[in-house]
Amino acid sequence: MAKVSAEIAAIKSVLAEVAEQIENLDGMIARPGDAPTSDAFLNNSDVDDVELINRAKTLLEWSRFKAQTLNLGSGLFSDSCWDMCLDIYICDLKDEKITISSIAHSSGIPMTTAMRYINVMTEEGLLEKSSNPSDNRMVFISTSDDCKEKISTILRNLR
């Protein structure tokens, strides 16, 4: 009986932690009357790169937490393209080079799917590929200027 009580206590502890995480994340969710006006999108330039990186990391962590929590094996709750863009965006702001294979691997989806998404996002002008001058087998990936600005606009307007 003591073992069962200990297991119940452990489960309650985990549930309390999850409830706290959900409550923290809930504050980040926009509500239907909270949407900023179009003027608000133009006037939030006072956010520096360090804060943009922190906000991007928070969104990325939230997205991965959401996918892990709600995923029943179908992948319905994952945002692979958005997560890859945020990952690449963070590297860009830190002036870090990232390879296509690294970002595909970190996305958590099959390599072929990640490569297909990266190719589509490149064709759409969201991402840019560049060769590694010291190793032609390695290709770097970065966000385009347009994509970087759009992600920055989104991140500047988080509350």
pLDDT one-digit tens code per residue, 41-89:
444 567 899 999 999 999 888 888 887 888 766 666 778 889 999 999 9
Distance of CA 73 to the CA centre of its chain: 20
Domain limits, the chain: 1-31, 48-159
What is the reported pLDDT for 32?
58
Q: Tell me the C-alpha distance between 82 and 107, whole Å.
A: 10
DSSP string across 6-71? HHHHHHHHHHHHHHHHHHHHHTTSPPTT-PPPHHHHHS-TT--HHHHHHHHHHHHHHHHHHHHHH-
Q: 101: part of which helix (H) or strand (E)?
A: helix 100-106
- Is a pLDDT exceeding 50 seen at residue 6? yes
Which DSSP state fits 74?
Answer: S
For residue range 24-47, list pLDDT tens digits in order.
777 666 665 565 555 544 445 678
CA distances from 79 to 65, 133, 147 (A): 11, 32, 16
3 has pLDDT over 90: no
Find out if CATH 1.10.1200.10 is the number for domain 48-159.
no
Q: What is the pTM of this model?
A: 0.68
What's the rounded Cα separation, in Å, for the pair 119 and 35?
Answer: 32
